Amino acid sequence: MKLRLMLWLLGVMLKRARRRNPRFRDTLATLQRFDWGVATEDLSLARHYRMRPDAVTDAPGLPIDLDLELRFRDAASGVAFLKRPTPHAFFEGLRSGRLRLVGDSRDLERLQGLLKHLR
């Protein structure tokens, strides 16, 4: 339940950043579109985000046309990671097997570039 709430709040924060942060909007404008999702390995919990320069939308589930997916071993791993989404935490999670990346690693760098504007 905690991970579900965190993923929903992430959507709220992304929408707020698009409205209020000019650097976030500029980064989105250079990307044009970026679709990504977060889920547990068993897909019991999943949420995806569709980001465009004119809007950010989020919804439950994990469609197959995403640019990037972050899959956590379990909900506890997801909560621990989302509390501190630093580049070091990304790579440590990948190395330890608690996080699996589905997609291009360059998309992970793009995501990190967007998430740094949420602070």
Torsion of CA 99, 100, 102, 104, to 10 degrees: 80
The closest alpha carbon to 73, from 40, 108, 36, belongs to 40
Domain ranges across the chain: 2-118
Using one digit for the tens of pLDDT, what is the confidence trace for 7-59? 999 999 999 999 999 999 999 999 899 999 999 999 999 999 999 999 999 99
The closest alpha carbon to 69, from 91, 87, 43, belongs to 43
What pTM does this model have?
0.90
Task: Name residue 6's amino acid.
Answer: M
Give yes or no for residue 88 having a pLDDT over 90. no
* pLDDT mean across residues, the chain: 91
Domain 2-118 has CATH 3.30.1050.10: yes
The closest alpha carbon to 79, from 8, 9, 4, 19, belongs to 4
Q: At what angle do helices 75-83 and 2-20 cross, to 10 degrees?
A: 30
